[in-house]
Amino acid sequence: MIKFLIKGVIRDKNRSLMPVIIVSLGVAITVVIHSWLNGIMDESLKLNMNFNNGHVRIMTRAYAEEANQMPLDLALLDVNNLINELQVSYPDIEWVSRIKFGALIDFPDSTGETRAQGPVVGWAIDLFSPGSKETERFNITNAIVAGQLPSEPSHALISADLAERFRVKPGDRFTLFGTTMEGSLAFRNFIVSGTLRFGTEAIDRGAVITDLNDARQTFSMEDAATEILGFFRNSEYDDEKALTLEEAFNDKHTVTDDEFSPEMFSFSHQEGMGDLLAITKIMNFIFVFVFVAAMSVVLWNTGLLGGLRRYSEFGIRLAIGESKGHIFKTLLAEGVVIGIVGTICGTALGLAGSYFLQEYGLDMTGWMKNASLMFPTVARAYITPAAFYIGIIPGLISTTLGNALAGSLIYKRDTSKLFKELEV
């Protein structure tokens, strides 16, 4: 019987071709939307963790309250001893020191006079220590547009947009102006070793990356850092583990009446990041649920209309003696066959589209102008295991339910009136 039904579905294009096409397109769109939303949310989380927040972040309580202003005078002291202690107490976490600063960048002309200048946000990270993963964490190698990584002190990287705006190229010099921890004027000359484009408008507008030791010398911050970031060695954020770590550290190190005592913050307890984490979990579910529900209704109606168009066929089959139950079962079986074929074809098509978006992405630069949040300007998909089976809901279940609803009308047919209906 199943073999007979499959042959009938294949040979009768009127009742198979269009439903299979609609089911395939619906499933494909569902898979692509699911993967694309996953990619955007996942990339946004990684950007914020790698650049600013870490999986856990240690700052002085005073600095944490004004972190957006990057006040160097509220930085952590005795950082090396603290990191050594952390490495012994929590060996499964990688600890790194950073200095984040705001400064003025000045580009001279051929005579040494100021040609152009503007504000920048700087990250001082460990570029030269053996085994440091900071360049990987910032994805610097892939982000380089021109030039190369700094190979010696007093070499720095700047964003490509900044370089284009001020007509700067690798090998040019600039002066960085800021303030030291004590509040006095600080300046240092650097050479542009390369230009970067991270694909995030909030960073690419004006960023400088220097070695940590260069920044310490510039801002008089020997054995100091604005923050210490911790990253789980498997690179996956575990909120429950981070919260446990935060509580244990703060019980031991944080002093209530000392605003300069170190305090740890998990990613979800940093300003706005808990909301971002919650949005990542909730919005993807909401978007996918709404879209799957909408596609389910469409495919349900497809099955329903397909069944209603065959009203006369069901009458003929009843007239020649086929039972209503048998007709209903065959209709359900046809719905399952069409659903399976459409789901398989649609999932394959959706995965192909998701893979394309994962590799090449969708350029959203025009939508991200003047954005202050860290969102990727190239939105890429991210294929998860759920992408392989999420199409079952709209593709198989909805189509079968639509056929079932249409088939329920079979039981309302009055056999005594069939010949009168067929004469019309």
Q: What is the pLDDT of residue 409?
A: 66
Which residues touch 255 (CB under 8 Å, ≥6 apart)?
261
The per-residue pLDDT for 72 is 93
CB 351 within 8 A of CB 343: no
Please state the separation of Cα 395 from the chain's center in Å: 26
* Residue 139 structure tokens: 């994805």
For residue 227, the cross-strand partners are 98
Inter-residue contact 353 to 387 (CB < 8 Å):
no
Amino acid at position 280, single letter? T
Other beta carbons within 10 Å of 233 = 10
H or E element that contains 26: helix 13-48
Q: Is 423 exposed, middle or buried (0-12, 13-18, 19+ CB in 10 A)?
A: exposed
Q: DSSP state, 395?
A: I
Q: What is the pLDDT of residue 78?
A: 92
Structure tokens at 148: 């190369």
Tokens of 128: 């030269």
Q: How far apart are CA 413 and CA 411, in angstroms?
A: 6
List phi, psi (to 5°) of 119: -80, 150
**pLDDT given for residue 275 in this prediction:** 67
Counting DSSP H helices and E strands in the chain, the numbers are 16, 14
157 has which bridge partners? 194, 209
At which residue do the structure tokens 């499933």 appear?
27
Q: Alpha carbon 199 to chain centroid distance? A: 13
User: How much is the pLDDT for 255?
Assistant: 84
Half-sphere exposure for 314 (CA within 13 Å, toward CB): 24
Please name the amino acid found at residue 366: G
pLDDT averaged per 10 residues in sequence order, the chain, 424 residues = 58 67 84 84 82 91 89 92 92 93 91 88 92 89 90 92 91 92 90 88 86 93 93 84 91 86 88 69 70 67 62 71 78 80 90 89 59 60 85 78 71 61 53
SS3 letters for 54-82?
CCEEEEEHHHHHCHHHCCHHHCEECHHHH
- Helix ranges (H only) for 53-206 are 61-65, 79-89, 134-137, 140-143, 160-165, 201-204
DSSP letter (8 states) at residue 107: E
pLDDT at residue number 372? 46
Query: Rounded CA gap, 123 and 203, in Å?
Result: 11
pTM of the model: 0.72
Q: Which tokens hold the place of 11?
A: 């040979």
